[in-house]
Amino acid sequence: MSTPTRRRRTRTKEAAGPDARGTELELEVGPIAHGGHCVARHDGRVIFVRHALPGERVVARVTEGAEGAKFWRADAIRVLVADPARVEPACPVAGPGLCGGCDFQHATPARQRGLKASVIAEQFRRLADLDVTVEVQEVPGDADGLHWRTRTQFAVDAQGRTGLRGHRSHDVVPVSDCPISTPEVTASGVLGTRFGNVETVEVAAGSDGSAPLVVVTPEPGKHAHLPKLPDASVAVRTAEGLHRVSGRTWVGERITVREQDFAFRVGGAGFWQVHPAAPAVLGEAVLAALEPRPGEHALDLYSGVGLFTALLARAVGDDGTVLAVEGEERAVRDARKSLHEHRQVELWAGSVEESLVDDELTGRRTDVVVLDPPRAGAGRVAVAGIAALKPRAIAYVACDPAALARDTKFFAEQGYVLDGLQAFDLFPQTHHVECVARFVPTH
């Protein structure tokens, strides 16, 4: 008897109906949604609208969707009734069909923070079954939401021009300036110049006053042709690693937290918080959430180059310990250089999930835990592993409120409840927001 073959159901363009792109609709704009757009409805269909604000009446042009689809995406191309907090964008390419980097340049910074607070609350209601009230705090280090981004990745178009990609697009919008980037980034020389055989150009400006670092990624199998960049260090990233062209292949970062100075080395435009105030602001929030004591044993998960590791090491002192776990070996190498004086620190390079079930870790005493996972969050397995260590307090640093809310529910399942939540506007003009949550055991 032969086994029947299951026919795969495929969604064809014909089944979805005619392409609706370019259709213009007059819409009453509804609430903000996670992702930088608002929700509107037209003839029973949900429309996700960018470049609009809740309560506005706009004419929107459909950018994605077909007649049979449940929802469409659209850009507000004309505002009929404006929100009082609407402003003219500071960047000439922050508009429909142009750069996709900024979501909220058409709103005042205060209005942006209010929108982000609404998104956080909605995600916690939907994913964690919790009602939370949180204020998104303004932080120092930017100019009304501009000139804060110390790390920017630019794409390169077919003509060799640097720019930024459109929203949900591979198209490159050439730019001669980026108003949310710091002057050090824009003065690196990469804007307005031409590159050959290059996919991306990353610029990182450290806080130690040295020249910014430009990291170039060539097109696969090709040799990059670089312009002269006398005001920057330059390196080329290939599959084999980072190759120095001029200057150094890392940037230096310095911060002060609780009147103590810390210095870090970040190699190859590796991960570091992009807002200049972020490391100190988040560091203070983590210390306030954990209240680490001398002699305690701390665990830093997704530890990067060791920002929170260093703060915890100072707090627990020589009689305490800090174990830091990071999956990227390059970051661990940088952490070793930055933390070599802290004898109470141990660095592991490897998977967080695997480390949490390692006998060497599970057999230790763990008093406090900080985790700063990538945008996808920690997930059920990591949350269960953390809870099994029975720390007295957990500080969770999150760049995605949906992932944080989901993991909050996972922590509740493991006997840990949300005991505090702070939010910081570390990505002005965009829909992104940084949160620090404190979890404690229920008993």
Q: How far apart are CA 51 and CA 104, in angstroms?
A: 7
Q: Tokens representing 138?
A: 């303004």
Q: How far apart are CA 181 and CA 13, in angstroms?
A: 40
One-letter amino acid of 100: G
Q: What is the DSSP string of 255-291?
A: EEETTEEEEEEEETT----SSTTHHHHHHHHHHHHH-
Count Cα neighbours of 101 within 13 Å in the Cβ-side half-sphere: 27
Q: How far apart are CA 271 and CA 253, in angstroms?
A: 12
User: Which of 38, 91, 99, 399 is the catalytic position?
Assistant: 399
Q: How far apart are CA 147 and CA 43, in angstroms?
A: 42
Q: Cβ distance 371 to 397 under 8 Å?
A: yes
What's the DSSP call for residue 112? H
Q: How far apart are CA 169 and CA 394, in angstroms?
A: 38
Asked about 399 being catalytic, the answer comes back as: yes
Q: Are strands 260-267 and 250-257 parallel, antiparallel or unpaired?
A: antiparallel
Q: Cβ distance 198 to 227 under 8 Å?
A: no
Residue with tokens 């505002």: 79
Q: Are strands 233-238 and 241-246 parallel, antiparallel or unpaired?
A: antiparallel
Catalytically annotated residues: 399
